[in-house]
């Protein structure tokens, strides 16, 4: 604060030119959770072109917002729910944010520790998903379970007077990353004219054997049958994606398919995965972060949906609407409920048949060819 403002009793925020607020957005979730905030990020930038916009994200999702052109700064956090008094990481982040003299903090979380972080960071006004009364300068936002998370986030930030700019998610990466992936595909024998289909079968919680049921998993032998059909009947080149923890699952599927495929599980960074997804003609996934990545970049997508809350978190892409296969069995959605922990047989996923998936893939590929 300069001397003239100090003598007049003005804070730095009071003296700041109109239209240049300093705004923090907090969403320290998984890949898909993070991408679902990008329409809000774009709306803030459209409404306040000269604002200073900061995003606090989970370290595991940093790559999907690092190159977002609407953000001035991205801060990763590793241990989001650790109390501030136990976390040197949060103390460092709070100190760094206090120097910004924040006008607004939009906390798209309900966990008290993240709301507390925004308060300790010195934000004058805080919006957060909570029903608790937090005192002056705080506004509780209601999460409507019947609406998509993207719509809820835009509604939560409405006190900023935003001008929304659609619901399309965004994912940007550097040109050099695209070049790296292009070279790797070329080394694998993929040409620009090939029909390239990605298959992502993993999703997390991988302590069990590949053949065993996991809540969002689709039977691996069915994935193998789809890959065999894609290669033999549709002449496709198939790329299998996944994290390092998915390798056993992906190797099992590749062997069971008994046709050539390209195994990239655990061999790509998140940024490189985004570049690969851009190159695909179509991506077949379970409910996972990569599904949202495909929706964000506009790649044709077929997603197999099970225990997740469809209305809130299904991949959304107005630019190229995904094809989502979902059977509403009586026990679904169970995500976030006690039933989820007790589930021994994910019938919601097993109800999805191989022929359904083949038909959906053909429909999506036909739609793409007509463009």
The answer for residues whose C-beta is within 8 angstroms of residue 140's C-beta and 6 or more apart is 127, 128, 129, 130, 131, 132, 133, 134
Q: Does a structural domain hold residue 12?
A: no
Q: Same domain for 142 and 199? A: no
Q: Same domain for 68 and 130? A: yes
Among the candidates 160, 194, 220, a domain finishes at 160
Q: Transcribe 247-269 into DSSP letters.
A: HHHHHHHHHHHTS--EE-TTSS-
Q: Same domain for 57 and 152? A: yes
Q: Same domain for 118 and 202? A: no
Count up the domains in the chain and report the number.
2
Q: Does a structural domain hold residue 268?
A: yes
Q: Same domain for 229 and 116? A: no
pLDDT for the residue numbered 196: 98
Q: Same domain for 250 and 149? A: no
Q: Does a structural domain hold residue 93?
A: yes
Among the candidates 132, 160, 188, a domain finishes at 160
Q: Does a structural domain hold residue 351?
A: yes
| 8, pLDDT greater than 80 | no
Q: Same domain for 139 and 35? A: yes
Q: Does a structural domain hold residue 36?
A: yes
Find where tokens 């409507």 sit.
144
Q: Same domain for 123 and 207? A: no
Q: What is the CATH number of the domain that holds 191?
A: 3.40.50.2000
* 3-class DSSP state of 2: coil
Average predicted confidence (pLDDT) for the chain: 90
For the chain, give the percent of residues with pLDDT over 70: 90
Q: Same domain for 141 and 218? A: no
Q: Does a structural domain hold residue 130?
A: yes
pLDDT for the residue numbered 339: 84
Query: Which residues span the domain enclosing 199?
Result: 175-369
| 4, pLDDT greater than 50 | no
The answer for residues whose C-beta is within 8 angstroms of residue 273's C-beta and 6 or more apart is 241, 290, 293
| 16, pLDDT greater than 90 | no
Q: Same domain for 242 and 296? A: yes
The answer for residues whose C-beta is within 8 angstroms of residue 272's C-beta and 6 or more apart is 177, 180, 181
pLDDT tens for 221-261 read: 999 999 999 999 999 999 999 999 899 999 999 999 999 99
The answer for residues whose C-beta is within 8 angstroms of residue 145's C-beta and 6 or more apart is 309, 311, 312
Q: Does a structural domain hold residue 169?
A: no
The answer for residues whose C-beta is within 8 angstroms of residue 29's C-beta and 6 or more apart is 58, 61, 109
pLDDT tens for 171-207 read: 999 999 999 999 999 999 999 999 999 999 987 555 5
Q: Same domain for 289 and 317? A: yes
Among the candidates 130, 160, 190, a domain finishes at 160
Please answer whether residues 304 and 350 qualify as being in contact, where contact means their C-beta atoms are separated by less than 8 angstroms.
no
Cα distance between residue 265 and residue 276, in whole Å: 12
pLDDT tens for 264-275 read: 999 999 999 999
Please answer whether residues 226 and 232 qualify as being in contact, where contact means their C-beta atoms are separated by less than 8 angstroms.
no
CB burial of residue 2 (10 Å; 0-12, 13-18, 19+): exposed
Q: Same domain for 155 and 239? A: no
The answer for residues whose C-beta is within 8 angstroms of residue 136's C-beta and 6 or more apart is none
What stretch of H or E contains 77?
A: strand 73-77
Q: CA nearest 261: which of 209, 210, 206, 224?
A: 224
Q: Does a structural domain hold residue 5?
A: no
Instruction: Assign 17 a pLDDT band (cuts: 50, 70, 90).
Output: low
């Amino acid at each position: 604060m300069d001397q003239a403002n100090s003598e007049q009793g003005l804070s730095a925020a009071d003296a700041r030119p109109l239209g240049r607020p300093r705004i923090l957005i907090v969403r320290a979730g998984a890949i898909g959770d993070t991408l679902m905030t990008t329409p809000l990020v774009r709306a803030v930038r459209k409404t306040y072109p000269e604002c200073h916009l900061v995003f606090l994200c989970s370290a595991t999702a940093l790559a999907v917002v690092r190159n977002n052109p609407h953000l001035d700064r991205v801060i990763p956090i590793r241990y989001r729910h650790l109390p501030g008094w136990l976390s040197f990481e949060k103390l460092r982040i709070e100190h760094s944010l206090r120097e910004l003299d924040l006008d607004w903090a939009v906390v798209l979380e309900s966990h008290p520790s993240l709301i507390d972080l925004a308060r300790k960071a010195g934000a004058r006004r805080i919006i957060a998903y909570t029903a608790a009364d937090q005192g002056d300068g705080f506004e509780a936002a209601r999460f409507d379970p019947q609406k998509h998370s993207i719509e809820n986030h835009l509604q939560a930030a409405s006190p900023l007077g935003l001008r929304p700019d659609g619901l399309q998610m965004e994912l940007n990466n550097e040109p050099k990353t695209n070049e790296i992936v292009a070279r790797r595909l070329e080394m694998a024998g993929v040409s620009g004219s090939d029909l390239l289909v990605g298959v992502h079968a993993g999703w997390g919680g991988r302590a069990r054997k590949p053949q065993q049921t996991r809540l969002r998993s689709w039977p691996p032998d069915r994935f193998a049958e789809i890959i065999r059909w894609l290669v033999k009947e549709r002449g496709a080149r198939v790329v299998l994606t996944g994290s390092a923890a998915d390798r056993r699952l992906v190797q099992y599927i590749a062997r069971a398919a008994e046709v050539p495929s390209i195994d990239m599980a655990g061999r790509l960074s998140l940024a490189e995965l985004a570049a690969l997804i851009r190159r695909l003609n179509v991506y077949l996934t379970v409910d996972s972060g990569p599904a949202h990545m495909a929706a964000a970049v506009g790649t044709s997508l077929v997603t197999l949906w099970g225990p997740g809350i469809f209305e809130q978190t299904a991949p959304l892409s107005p630019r190229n609407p995904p094809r989502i296969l979902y059977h509403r069995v009586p026990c679904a959605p169970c995500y976030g409920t006690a039933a989820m922990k007790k589930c021994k047989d994910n019938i919601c996923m097993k109800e999805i048949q191989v022929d359904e998936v083949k038909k959906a893939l053909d429909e999506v590929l036909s739609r793409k060819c007509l463009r």
